[in-house]
Structure 1
C-alpha cells in the first residue's frame, strides 16, 4: 500500500507541474510516465481488492446461496423441532399413563386396606357386642336369682314373723326393705352393664372414625401425590370390668 500512495503522490506532482494549454484548464502530461505510475498502482494494489470486487460482482449469487442455505437450515430446524415435539408428547403420554396406572394401583391398595380395616372393625364390634350381651344376660340372670332368693327369704321371714303378733308390723317393713334393696341392686347391676356396653360401643365408634379419617387422608394424598397410606392403628384395649362391686 505504501507504493500505491507513493505512485499517487507522483501522479499529483506531475499533474501540478504539467505545462498548461493556453486558453483552457487542460495540461500536457507525459503519457509514458503516467501509464508507468498507473501500472505501479495496479501492481501494488493488494489481492483483497480484486477479491472484494469479485464478491461485489457475485453479490446476488452469494446472497441467493446464503438465503437458500438459511432456508435449508430453517427447514431442518423445523423438522427436528417437530420430531422433538412429537417425541416429547409421546414421552409425556407414556409418563401420564404410567402415573395413572400407579395411581390406580394405589387407590386399589387403599380401598383393599380400608375394606380389611372395616371388616376387622366389624368383627371386633360383633365380638364385643356378643360378649357384652352374654355378660349382660349373665348379670341379669344373677340379679334375677338374687332377687328371687331375696323374695323367698323375705317371704319365709314374713311367714315366721306373721306367727308373732307383736312383730307383724316390723316384718312387713323389713320385707318391703329387702324387696326394695333387691330391686335397687338389680337396677344398679343393669345400669353398670349398660354403661359397660356403651363404653365399648364408644371405643368402636372412635375406631371407625379414625379409620374413616385415615382413608380420607389417603385419598387426599393420592389426589395430590402418590404417597403410601399409614397403617390403621390398633384399637386401645379396654380394662376388664370389675363385677365384684
Structure 2
C-alpha cells in the first residue's frame, strides 16, 4: 500500500513538473504540454490507483450508466405521461363537449317547456281575466238594476206616503167637520129635548098648581 501511495505521489509530482515547465501561449494563461507524455502519466496514475478507488470508479461509471438509464426511463415515462396526459386531455375535452352539448339541449328543452308553460298560463290568465270581467260586469248590472228597483220602490213609497198623508189630512179635516156637525146636531137635539121637557114641566107645574088650588077651595 505504501508503494502504491508513493507511486501516486511520484506521478502527481511528475505531472506538476511537466505543467510548470510547459511553454506558455502568448497573450493567454494557457500553456503547451506534450500530449502523449501526459496521457502516459495519467495511465500510470490510473493503474497506480488502489483497488478500492478503482472499484469506486467502476461504481461511479455504473452510477453514470444508471443515471443515464434513469434519465432515459424518465424521458420515456415523461413521454408516456405526456401521451396519456394528451389522451386524458382529449378525453376530458370530448366529455366536456358532450356535457356542454347535453347541457345546451337540456337548456333548450327547459326553455321550450318554460315558454310553453308561460304561454299556457298566460292563456289561462286571459280566460280567467275575461271571466272575472264578465262576472264583475254582470254583478255591476245586477247591482245597478237592484239600485234602480230600490230607487223606484223608495219613490213609490214616498209617493204613497205623501198620498197617505194627504188622505189623512183630508180624513182629518172631514172628521173634524163631521164632529162639528154631529156636535151641532147633538146640541140642537139636546136643546129641543130640553125645550120639550121644559114645556112638559110647565104643564105639569100648572097642573100641580091647579090641583093645589082645587084642594084649597072649601
Q: TM-score with structure 2 length normalisation? A: 0.48
Of the two, which has the highest radius of gyration?
2
Flag the structure with higher helix content: 2
Instruction: Choose between structure 1 and 2 for higher RCO, CA contacts under 8 A separated by at least 6 residues.
Output: 1
